[in-house]
Chain A
Amino acid sequence: MRLVDALGYRLPLAGLVSILHRASGMLMFLLLPFIIWMFDTSLTSEISYSQFTAVFAHGAGFVPGWFFKLVALALIWAYLHHLIAGLRHLWMDATHAVTLQFGRQSAIVTLVVSVLLTLVLGAKLFLS
């Protein structure tokens, strides 16, 4: 089956969670250097810590601060989605919860909880 054929099928919510699990993992993989840079500058010294906060408050070079916040927010969503979707998998492995109904309901919970927590943390990131 080619991709164009696959696109003809309606994607169930569990399928959406599954593809977003992969996409969020890929995003975090590609942004690993940015994550380790945050780990590095926030911890190394008080001076590097203030440089770390300044990047998000005032930007760096020609890149504005809100852009760094937006990237951080994307990472927050990716981490939350990946974590919750992963816990869902662990739960299904441990309890053999494989009914169609459980798959759909837990997919809704995964999507809603990860987005809600992202909004809460996004509000803290951008508004405070």
Chain B
Amino acid sequence: MAQSFGSKRTVVGAHYGLRDWLSQRVTAALMALFTLALIVQVLLPGEMGYDKWAGIFAHQWMKLLTFVVIVALLVHVWVGMRDVLMDYVKGVGTRLTLQMATIVWLVGCAGWAIQVLWRL
């Protein structure tokens, strides 16, 4: 009988567990970094208004970081929402429908956010 534990066990499943776990954490770290970068710039001296706010996103490095964060958000939210749907929605048809709706929602939102970023 095949061993079901230890290093010689027969590995089964779709093998996306570690990849999803890792991408959720890498994207989380990126977004935490973005949050820190944004807070530091908001707290720099100078009264908050359009000039200061738009000035923060005028730097090329901030635009790049924001773009990376939008893509990271897309991946992060997909992993999280898929976990939630797998846990609470038991019907396969309903779950697949909700997962498709999630993808459409996320791709749409990311597209809009990137469009905003690109015309700055």
Contact = CB atoms under 8 A, between A and B. Distances in A.
Interface of A: 22, 25-26, 29, 32-33, 36, 39-40, 42-44, 46, 49-50, 83, 86-87, 89-90, 93
Interface of B: 25, 28-29, 32, 35, 49-50, 53-54, 57, 77, 80-81, 84, 102, 105-106, 109, 112-113, 116, 119-120
Contacts of A44: 116, 119-120
Given A32-B105, A43-B53, A83-B35, A90 B113 contact: no
Contacts of A93: 25
Contacts, number: 51
Given A22-B84, A86-B32, A90-B28, A36 B112 contact: yes
A29 B50 contact: no
B113 A36 contact: yes
Contacts of B102: 29
A62 B25 CA distance: 41
Contacts of A40: 112, 116
B53 A90 contact: no
Contact of B50 (A46, A83, A89): A46
B4 to A, nearest CB: 24
A89 B24 CA distance: 11
Nearest to A45: B50
A43 B105 contact: no
Given A25-B77, A43-B54, A90 B25 contact: yes
Nearest to B111: A36
A32 B28 CA distance: 17
7 closest Cβ contacts across the A-B interface? A49-B50, A32-B109, A40-B116, A46-B50, A36-B113, A86-B28, A25-B80
A22 B87 CA distance: 11
